[in-house]
Structure 1
Amino acid sequence: MAAPAEHDEEENKERPPRVMDTPEDLRLEAIANSIALHPSRDVIVCGDVDGDVYAYEYSCTEGRTTELWSSGHHMKSCRAVRFSADGQKLFSVSRDKAVHVLDAESGKLVTRIRGAHTAPINALKIIDENLLATGDDAGTVKVWDMRRGTSILDLKHHDDYISSITVDQAKRILLSASGDGTLGVFNIKRRRFELQSEFQSGDLTSVALMKRGKKVVCGSSEGTLYIFNWDGFGATSDRFAVKAESVDCILPITDSIMCVASMDGYIRAINLLPNRVIGCVGQHVGEPIEELGRSHCGRFLVSCGHDSLVKFWDIGSLPESKVQEYRKRKRKDGKLKSLSKKAHGDNDFFAGLVEETENKREEGEEEGEEEDEESDSDSD
């Protein structure tokens, strides 16, 4: 005798939720310009083009990712969001020229600095528990003492927007990448401008420290990575042309491996010195990617793109990737190796990202064969 329909429904309700490799993607109402991941909890914050900020608790258990709070304090597009080191505060900057400090637990506004810049603010970097740096669309860099709510450094040495800011481990030197094609160097302790690099082709769109701070890498709108030696900021020591429309953001994973995102929608993992594209971590189909982040556990890479999605990628094995010193033969199909399960789908377009295990003949190719991405040099 067949079981009653009520019994089937009861069994479905008791079925445990599915546990996935990564949290479910977040579908937002508007494009997220920026994301920030909590330093110790499974919480992500997104700032969107409407000026809203959303906080979510993410989970690999199906249906468990939930919105915690939302904030609409900015009048215009929210350009960047960042957590404090202890995760208790959230900082945001906007096209409305304001700096906001929110309580990370509730999303309530704690501090607002109206008119922090005379031009829309585009870049934000937390320096320590008291200092933060901002950069605007006109090329001005400011460092703020949040105990007083005033700037202790206010300098304009760029002719175009500030795209990205980073600081060294000692919190002494600030580096700014600009749309004018230069890297700026500022001394935070002495509150002065130090120097500016030579002009590069295209905008400098991002900046990151690699090789334990001995190398500085800048992405560009031309799809080239420009590499500087620390204390040698005047001219590049190396450059690496990536087959991408641009390199819009850089996220260091190890001292030698970084993930870069591009306007073509791909997230590439790249090894620095020797300079190699390891493969594809993931993609937003045909849509530019605004920012990358990494979970506090180190396992998930997170990306936000113009498809209004925030996506999670499993990069747990990426830090163990090994790169051959010699240059391999150029792949005739031009495909990227897939580095995560979600980096390809069943359709032909994504199936093209899957690279089969290289056979022994390919492994034995001699050095000097042309490869997809060329580097001017692989020297330290």
Structure 2
Amino acid sequence: MSTENDAEAGSLAPLKFKQAVFHFATHPSEPIIVSGLINGKIKCHRYGEKSHQELWTEKAFKKSCRGVAFNPDGSQLYSVSKDKMILLMDTSTGQTIKSREMTHENPLNSLLNLNENMFATGDDQGVIKIWDNRKEDAVMTYSEHEDFIADMAYSPSHKTLVAVGGDGYLSTWDIRKPNVAAMSDQMGDELLSVKLVKNGRKAVVGSQEGILSLWSWGDWGDYKDRIVGHPHSIDAICKIDEDTICTGSSDGMIRVVSILPNAFHGVIGDHGQDMPIEHIELTHDKKYLISCGHDESLRFWDVGYLFDEDQDEEKDGDDDQSDAEGEVTSNLENNKNEDQDDESQDEDKKQKQDADDDEDEEKALAEFEGFEDDSDDSDDDKPSKKRQKKQLKKEQKKKEAEHKKKSSRPNTFFSDL
């Protein structure tokens, strides 16, 4: 079985820069990475086991580049900066396709691609804007937050954006509507990172005080659970799978954490003391986890063996399954039961609101371009067909849960980290 040292030995050489890397993005299908630097430059590299090749460099902004993101097929690249500009660039050449200036009243701080045409930006004073490449101006502007937007996540199935910020609030937005869908209680701590897990039923949020909080979809008033143990702020989160994340902390360490049951499973990378992690992301083939910090480099951590071990355990199983499950604490069992209860409640709410949601969606689709209906069926058919699909999914999930309980031990593929 692989060890942490094995992973380090198999990692690629760091990609070093002369300036700090503020943000980066990995290509969705090729070994290509684009980095946004603090001096406003954007660099594109093809990474490899023997060497890294620089493909192009562009001086895109006068001030720091604070975010980069590929469109779904990787052919184009979005970038945002402190000088309030947004660029759409050609990935192969680095040439600008479209430029928007003075897009916000305050410096941009975060960027998230939503689909093939749309993306979201957040600024230093809490304003979020939704953009459509087919239109010049923002299609939505949200102003509920009072401090910087630190991070955002998106649920395509709900057409909903989840945002966290320095004001200590979590917010959710149906991007087809002008008003906030839900706003959390004030957490008394800066919220710095967010990812959706458990097939979108949970949001995991990292804070300045080093606490991971777990939120249930549709119940955004307060978190349902929290994971303590990080000694410093959690500035970045990367989803490994629906039950596992990696966290990047201001102590320079990258940790593996499982969600429900909640547990730490070791450190897979370390940029060094006083070298906070700014961003972490998986490569398209899930072989490497890439991270950037304050040491002016991108570092590659070999994590492919984690997924290999997961597949091996699903095939082979473990004879001591029941013994391992018996060792789970009552607190973790309560968390899992709560997770299941939340799923059941969410399902009931969705069924009750199907008719109203369909009517709202049709009105919104007529008002805003760029949103495609998931079905060509008539309005009369949609509620019943959706309920049938949900019932089939519910039965499938039940069968998968029973099979998983019999044949695999939860999260054991991280036990040797």
Normalising by the smaller structure, the TM-score range is: 0.7 to 0.9
- Return the match for 1:188 from 163, 172, 175: 175
1:357 equivalent in structure 2: none
AA matched with 2:41: D
Aligned-pair identity (%): 33
1:354 equivalent in structure 2: none
Aligned equivalents of 1:231, 1:365: Cα separation in 2: 32
2:24 equivalent in structure 1: 35
Aligned equivalents of 2:32, 2:12: Cα separation in 1: 11
Give the unaligned 5+ runs of structure 2. Answer: 1-8, 311-323, 340-417
2:47 equivalent in structure 1: 58
Correspondence list, 1:292-331, <5 A = 292-319=280-307
- Return the match for 2:60 from 69, 73, 79: 73
Aligned length: 316
| Contact 1:254 1:319 survives alignment (8 Å) | no
Give the alignment's Cα RMSD to 1 decimal. Answer: 2.2
Residue-by-residue CA offset, 1:210-253 (whole Å, 9 max, x unaligned): 00000011110010011110001111111111223011111101
- Return the match for 2:199 from 206, 209, 212: 212
Residue-by-residue CA offset, 1:4-59 (whole Å, 9 max, x unaligned): xxxxxxxxxxxxxxxx7332211111110111001111110110111111000000
2:38 equivalent in structure 1: 49
AA matched with 1:44: I
AA matched with 1:108: Q
Aligned equivalents of 1:277, 1:364: Cα separation in 2: 17
1:242 aligns with 2:229: yes
Aligned equivalents of 2:212, 2:72: Cα separation in 1: 29
How far 1:317 sits from its partner (Å)? 2.5
How far 1:364 sits from its partner (Å)? 12
1:88 aligns with 2:75: yes
1:114 equivalent in structure 2: 101
Aligned equivalents of 1:56, 1:242: Cα separation in 2: 35
| Contact 1:257 1:319 survives alignment (8 Å) | no
- Return the match for 1:252 from 239, 242, 261: 239
Q: Secondary structure at the match of 1:318?
A: helix
How far 1:368 sits from its partner (Å)? 5.8
AA matched with 1:296: H
Correspondence list, 1:332-351, <5 A = none
AA matched with 1:183: L
- Return the match for 1:289 from 254, 269, 277: 277
- Return the match for 2:189 from 177, 202, 206: 202
Alpha carbons of 1:23 and 1:149: their partners in 2 closer, same or farther (altered >3 Å)?
Answer: farther
| Contact 1:240 1:376 survives alignment (8 Å) | no
Deviates more, 1:184-193 or 1:88-97: 184-193
Aligned equivalents of 2:157, 2:243: Cα separation in 1: 20
1:98 aligns with 2:85: yes
Aligned equivalents of 2:39, 2:333: Cα separation in 1: 40
Aligned equivalents of 2:333, 2:297: Cα separation in 1: 33
Aligned equivalents of 1:182, 1:131: Cα separation in 2: 24
| Contact 1:239 1:376 survives alignment (8 Å) | no
Residue-by-residue CA offset, 1:291-313 (whole Å, 9 max, x unaligned): 01111111110000100010000
Aligned equivalents of 1:375, 1:221: Cα separation in 2: 28
Residue-by-residue CA offset, 1:176-215 (whole Å, 9 max, x unaligned): 1110111011111223311210111310001110000000
Aligned equivalents of 2:149, 2:333: Cα separation in 1: 26
2:404 equivalent in structure 1: none
Q: Secondary structure at the match of 1:151?
A: coil
1:6 equivalent in structure 2: none
How far 1:369 sits from its partner (Å)? 11
How far 1:319 sits from its partner (Å)? 3.8
How far 1:75 sits from its partner (Å)? 1.0
| Contact 2:142 2:178 survives alignment (8 Å) | no
More helix by share: 2
Aligned equivalents of 1:117, 1:285: Cα separation in 2: 35
AA matched with 2:290: V
- Return the match for 1:167 from 151, 154, 159: 154
Q: Secondary structure at the match of 2:103?
A: coil
Alpha carbons of 1:152 and 1:366: their partners in 2 closer, same or farther (altered >3 Å)?
Answer: closer
AA matched with 2:298: V
How far 1:367 sits from its partner (Å)? 6.2
Residue-by-residue CA offset, 1:285-338 (whole Å, 9 max, x unaligned): 11101001111111110000100010000111324678xxxxxxxxxxxxxxxx
Question: TM-score, normalising length from structure 2?
Answer: 0.72
1:261 equivalent in structure 2: 248
More strand by share: 1
Alpha carbons of 1:171 and 1:149: their partners in 2 closer, same or farther (altered >3 Å)?
Answer: farther
1:225 equivalent in structure 2: 212
Aligned equivalents of 1:256, 1:157: Cα separation in 2: 31
Aligned equivalents of 1:129, 1:364: Cα separation in 2: 43
